[in-house]
């Protein structure tokens, strides 16, 4: 069987790619995509720990399903916000949306 560390390394790599995407991309839609990558990295962790732990104890799987649901909802809201921002500022570049600037 593939050792647990492989899954964890995959997951960490995926999380780091997502984090890099969030910090480096300017397009708000791309930032949202990167956030999804980070969430899925977490899901891999959850499922892997379930598989290598007590299989009868279903919390890992259930948690990953809840994360899917929350991610779906978050994307719905996030995209709606992006559309709303676009309509108002005519851009989806995060740097140009600077209402909160001092």
Which residues here bind other proteins, judged by CB under 8 A?
19, 22-24, 31, 94-95, 97-102
Nearest distance in Å: CB 62, other proteins: 26
Nearest residue (CB) to other proteins, 47 versus 86: 86
> Which one, of 93, 88, 101, 96, lies nearest residue 31 by Cα?
93
Nearest distance in Å: CB 12, other proteins: 14
- The dihedral over CA atoms of 41, 5, 66, 77, expressed in degrees to the nearest 10, equals -10
Nearest residue (CB) to other proteins, 54 versus 98: 98
């Amino acid at each position: 069987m593939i050792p647990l560390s492989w899954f964890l390394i995959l997951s960490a790599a995926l999380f780091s790619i997502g984090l890099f995407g969030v910090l480096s991309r300017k397009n708000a839609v791309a930032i949202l995509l990167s956030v999804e990558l980070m969430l899925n990295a977490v899901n891999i962790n959850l499922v892997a720990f379930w598989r290598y732990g007590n299989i009868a104890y279903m919390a890992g799987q259930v948690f990953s399903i809840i994360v899917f649901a929350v991610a779906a909802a978050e994307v719905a809201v996030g995209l709606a916000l992006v559309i709303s921002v676009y309509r108002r500022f005519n851009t989806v570049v995060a740097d140009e949306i600077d209402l909160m600037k001092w």
